Amino acid sequence: MLKQQNFFDRNIPAWKQVLFLSWPTIVELLLQTAVNYVDTAMVGSIGVNATAAVSITMSTIWLINGFMNAVGIGYSVLAARSIGEGNYEQAKVIIRQSILAIGVAGIFLTLIVTLFIAPNLPAWMHAEKEVVPLARSYLRIIGMGYLFNISLIVCSNLLRCAGDTKTPMKFNILTNIINVVGNYLLIYPSKEIQLFGKNFLLQRAGLGVSGAAAATSMSIAFSGIGLLLILFLRQTPYQISLKEDFSPDRFIIRRAIRLAVPTAMERMTISFGQIAATSMITGLGTMALSANLLADTGEKICYLPVYGFATAGTTLVAQSLGAEEKDLALHYGRWCNRLGIIVMLVTSTAMFLFAVPIIDLFTDDTETILLAAQMLRIEAFAEPLLAIGVVLGGVLRGAGDTRWPFVISLLGMWVVRLPLAYTLIHLFDWGLAAVWGAAIADWAVRAAISCHRFYHKKWMTQKV
């Protein structure tokens, strides 16, 4: 049986508990970023149109992934509360209900993306005619894997909130390996290679952008199925069985929806804002669109590690409040925030210093490299503000206080970032720098409101 970590042992320093939970998630996210780098470089080698096609779809894909993550948050916070209480039977009921949600939501998303969104999105985004068929194909193939994708996301959330962050990390490593190998075999055409003095024909599919999407979907299918099997096969206090009752439980479903809806609305707020920002950038030309994608990809190496501390905050706060250890929940929240800021200061400094070499990994176009590197250096000074918003958002979600992260995101994106970016583009002619500069103001607002909510402690009495 998998050994459960005791998060209520006060002899273990809080920072050690935070690191115990966060480091596998940080490793997982860094590996994801490394593979995203490889993906971007492989797609970028096909040409600027291929890079632009992927860029067109990214905000929408992030929006849909956010919806799937909201489902995971809804059920995983409930499960973590039950585990903190020591009520494993209730935790098992919640996990079984989450399996039903995976099936229903996965089928719905697959149908709506492949049949409606993929054919129309490039036109909505005013993509150039050479980019349209590539973007349609890419998104349609990605959509075909959404049943497995939501399984991956929900099951990973459940395991992390139960205190098991290592299993999702291990599956992520395997997923990344499958994705990179799949990219190599599916993106490029066949070619002749020399091995031990003899020539061989290396058979490859030559599918281009569609091959990149197919490799992603196949690797996600592997992990989605594998993590689902873990919940059924691994001996844990919350192990489930097909022999148990899987009929819908309206009470649990309603509770999960109350937690998930604000999280989904938060992600929709951010994603629709990013789609609006991408539409602004599209009007600046293909080079600006490509530079934006490359800068965003480069920036991930800086900010993704703090999501490990946000995940740790969600788990530790949920379990602590489930055990009615409110002072411990506050203590863990503070440490998650401190460590997130420290890590972000280190990574943002590295991003500023090595901006050009980072972007140089993905393209040979000098103008695109310089423009994307400029965006990274603009943003480097504000990354600690982003860390505060991200980590404290995870803490509030663990408490079941999912409405405030939504309100904070709504204000930051739609009241601050987008109006400011539009003004800087059209009145001051700042170009791409307007969008990235406006993001700094957005993050400052989010950090200020998040700190106000956290330190006033109302989240500690939130009912779930």
Which pLDDT score, from 0 to 100, does residue 37 have? 66
Calculate the dihedral angle through the C-alpha atoms of 140, 265, 417, 437, rounding to the nearest 10 degrees.
-60
Comparing CA positions, the residue from 375, 402, 136 lying closest to residue 269 is 402
Count CA atoms closer than 13 A to 71's CA, side-chain side.
26
Exposed/middle/buried for 454, CB within 10 Å: 0-12, 13-18, 19+?
A: buried
Exposed/middle/buried for 162, CB within 10 Å: 0-12, 13-18, 19+?
A: buried
Which pLDDT score, from 0 to 100, does residue 464 have? 66
Which pLDDT score, from 0 to 100, does residue 461 have? 80
H or E stretch at 251: helix 250-282
Evaluate whether 391 touches 305 at the Cβ level (below 8 Å).
no
Comparing CA positions, the residue from 290, 213, 275, 270 lying closest to residue 55 is 290
| pTM for the full predicted model | 0.82
Comparing CA positions, the residue from 290, 336, 440 lying closest to residue 378 is 440
Sketch the domain layout of the chain as residue ranges. Answer: 14-461
Helix, strand or coil, per DSSP, at residue 190: strand
Evaluate whether 167 touches 227 at the Cβ level (below 8 Å).
yes
Evaluate whether 86 touches 171 at the Cβ level (below 8 Å).
no
Q: Which residues of the chain are under the pLDDT cut of 70?
A: 1-5, 36-37, 464
Tokens representing 160 are 């992390």
Rounded Cα–Cα distance for residues 383 and 348 (Å):
6
Tokens representing 317 are 């706060």
Rounded Cα–Cα distance for residues 117 and 162 (Å):
35
Read out DSSP for 270-285? Answer: HHHHHHHHHHHHHTT-
